[in-house]
Amino acid sequence: MKIKYLASLAAIALLSTGVFIACATPEASKDNAATTTTVTKPDPCAAKKADPCAAKKADPCAAKSSSGASVGGPLAQKLQGKPVVVDVYASWCPACKNIAPTVSELKKEYDGKVEFVVLDVSDKTTTAAAEATAQELGLSKFLAENKTQTGSLTIVDPTTGKILAQHRNNADKMAYTKVLDAALTK
């Protein structure tokens, strides 16, 4: 009697922790057979296991919405007439190294048609030079807001300062050519 009672308590304890157990059926004890039954308990946390950050995770290569986004106003006169590609660059940045071949191809393909501006934030000296360049070109507000976004390429309409597209760590050349071609046909 005591053994049955203790076995029942042990089974209840194991079941309450969600552990699988093998129990001898009453018929098995009569026949001395080794029949076992596996008992499982449903996971009460299953519905809660969804990724709470799923809605916050975005494709890091996706373009940011350009609806209403601006670099702060029209760009300098010397940038007018051609779309402007602003590259926030750092020599230590893996994303910058990843997109470098794409940037090189874009520079060759759009030579004379598009202005390319590199804002190098690799260290204090290059950042100071980038800030001076940004000031001269009308990109001060943009650099202040995007200094930490190395590996990003931003396509800007120089007349309005409107951001047409902004990608980070996106080596897909088509993502840029689509926007640049549309801007050149205006």
Alpha-carbon distance of 156 to 166, in angstroms, equals 9
A 10 A CB-CB count for 46 gives 8
Q: Helix 94-109 vs helix 173-184: angle between axes, to the nearest 10 degrees?
A: 40
What's the one-letter identity of residue 81?
G
What percent of the chain is modeled with pLDDT above 70?
63
- Whether 104 shows a pLDDT value over 50: the answer reads yes
Alpha-carbon distance of 126 to 128, in angstroms, equals 5
- Whether 2 shows a pLDDT value over 70: the answer reads no
Q: Note the pLDDT tens digit of each residue in 146-181.
A: 999 999 999 999 999 999 999 999 999 999 999 999
Beta bridge partners of 156: 84, 163
Residue with the bigger pLDDT between 153 and 22: it is: 153
> Would you place residue 135 in the very low, low, confident or very high pLDDT band (cuts 50, 70, 90)?
very high
- Whether 13 shows a pLDDT value over 70: the answer reads no
**Dihedrals phi, psi of 138, to nearest 5 degrees:** 85, 25
Indicate the DSSP class of residue 70.
B
Q: Is 112 exposed, middle or buried (0-12, 13-18, 19+ CB in 10 A)?
A: exposed
Residue with the bigger pLDDT between 42 and 93: it is: 93
A 10 A CB-CB count for 22 gives 10
pLDDT at 62: 43
